[in-house]
Structure 1
Amino acid sequence: MKRSLAVVSAGLRLPSSTRMLADRLAEAARRDLEGQGAQVDVDVVEVAEHGQDLVGHLTTGYPSDGLRRAFETVTRADGLIAVTPTFTASYSGLFKMFFDCIEDTALVGKPVLIAATGGTGRHSLVLEHALRPMFAYLRAVVVPTAVFAATEEWGSGGSEEPLVRRIGRAANELAVEVGRRESPEMPDPYSDPVPFERLLDGG
């Protein structure tokens, strides 16, 4: 069976700890899904690459071709990994803007793993106070384990073992939720066209 994972990373520069965490989560989830016998495609959306297009979409209501493809990547995916840096005790503005602009039904019933990075572990509540309520509002299925990675957990003499355990647990929860669901069906925009007579009548 073919499965797909979309990874939305809202880091502002490359390399970034946000992208590093996103890649580790994606690789762990891929391994668990392959353990279920699935073939897995992983597609990464770097939100910073779409910053200007997101502003344009908010002001005009029309996404650029690149932004539309990014939205379709998330909508078509069997599961989503969403990772943001912590700004002012919350998600970044670009991260929120991306999910403000995507179709409001795109995440209904979709398994989502939420994660964040920050300078100190004191910011870890961003996951429960900001990210989880937002995805609950979008009617996504958010896995129980959320992953926060503080600066001191990335080497430099610190131990990465607790972070590795959290990544493994969260990725396994995502793989289980993806494995128990059918792949989402994309609506065909041409399946129910407006009759030509109604168009002529202004309907």
Structure 2
Amino acid sequence: MKRTLAVVSAGLRMPSSTRMLADRLAHAVGEELELRGSPLDVNVIEVRDHAHDLVNHLMAGYPSPELRRAFDEVTAADGLITVTPTFTASYSGLFKTFFDCIEDTALADKPVLIAATGGTGRHSLVLEHALRPMFAYLHAVVMPTAVFAATEDWGGGEGLQRPLHRRIERAARELAAEIERRETPTVDDPYDDPVPFERLLGDR
């Protein structure tokens, strides 16, 4: 059975270490699911591309068509990877705004792999102090292994990158297993059961 994975990356630059980590995680999950006989479609959402639409959504109360598609991709996905840069010991404001705007039930019972990037390993607690509580509040199923990549994790050759590689592989196995054991989410279309016009008038 083909599965879908949504990847929400909140890096502010292109290229960015945040997107690099997101791509490595998605690739590892794809490889793991291929071994289990489940091909994977990956939809990457660069939050920076929706920055203006997110602000407009907060002000006006409804998303643009492009932002709506991004929300639908997350809602319909079998699993989710989220990666944020670390700002002031927490997730970025843009990252938080994306999940402030998505529907409250979009992540309910959805397997989520959380990850972050930062200048030093001292920022890694952002995963447990900020990301994990937020996704628990949204009723997501957060994987036990979270992945943090500091600047030093990307340099020094393959040997020095090996601890990061091991964390990525472990987290990917956890997410792949959760995706495989769940049914594909069903997304309700609000236009399938519209509120009758007479009732709308009666509520005024």
Coarse TM-score class (shorter-chain normalised): over 0.9
| Runs of 4 or more above 6 Å deviation | none
> Which segment is superposed worse, 181-190 or 16-25?
181-190
Change (3 A) 1:202 1:136: closer
- Partners of 2:202 and 2:16 lie apart in 1 by 55
User: In structure 2, how many angstroms separate the alpha carbons of the residues matched to 1:134 and 1:124?
Assistant: 16
Q: Per-residue CA shift, 1:108-148, capped at 9, x if unaligned?
A: 00000000000000000000000000000000000000000
- Counterpart Cα distance in 1 of 2:19 and 2:200: 47
- Offset from partner CA, 1:135-167 (integer Å, 9 cap, x none): 000000000000000000102457000000000
Q: What is residue 162 of structure 2 aligned with on the other side? A: 161
Q: CA deviation at 1:34?
A: 1.2
Q: Which runs of 5+ in 1 are unaligned?
A: none
State the partner residue of 2:140.
Answer: 140
Query: Structure 1: how far apart are the matches of 2:130 and 2:198?
Result: 48
SS of the residue 1:160 aligns to: helix
Q: State the SS of the aligned residue for 1:6.
A: strand
Q: Distance in 2 between matches of 1:63 and 1:193?
A: 19
Distance 2:70 2:191 in 1: 21
> Quick one: distance in 1 between partners of 2:44 and 2:116?
16
Q: 1:11-42: per-residue Cα shift (whole Å, max 9, x none)? A: 00011000000000000001111111112100
Structure 2 CA distance for aligned equivalents of residues 118 and 48 of structure 1: 17
- Alpha-carbon distance between aligned partners in 2 of 1:73 and 1:12, rounded to the nearest angstrom: 21
> 2: CA distance between counterparts of 1:49 and 1:5?
19
Give ranges in structure 2 of 5+ residues lacking alignment.
Answer: none
Instruction: Name the counterpart of 1:106.
Output: 106
SS of equivalent residue, structure 2 residue 160: coil
Give the AA of the match of 1:88: T
What's 1:192 paired with?
A: 193
Following superposition, the deviation at residue 7 of structure 1 comes to 0.2
Alignment pair present for 1:131 and 2:128: no
Matched residue count = 203
* Aligned-pair CA distance for 1:195: 3.2
TM-score by length of 1: 0.96
RMSD: 1.3
Which secondary structure state, in structure 1, belongs to the residue aligned with residue 115 of structure 2? strand
Which 10-residue stretch deviates more, 190-199 or 145-154? 190-199
Report the CA distance between 1:95 and its aligned residue. 0.2
Secondary structure of residue in 1 paired with 2:175: helix
Report the residue type matching 1:90 in the other structure.
S
Provide the residue aligned with 1:43 in structure 2: 43
Letter in 2 for 1:76: A
Residues of 2 paired with 1:180 and 1:71: CA distance? Answer: 23
Matched, 1:52 2:52: yes
- The 1:40–1:89 alpha-carbon spacing in structure 2 relative to 1, beyond 3 Å, is same
Aligned to 1:29: 29
One-letter amino acid matched to 1:185: T
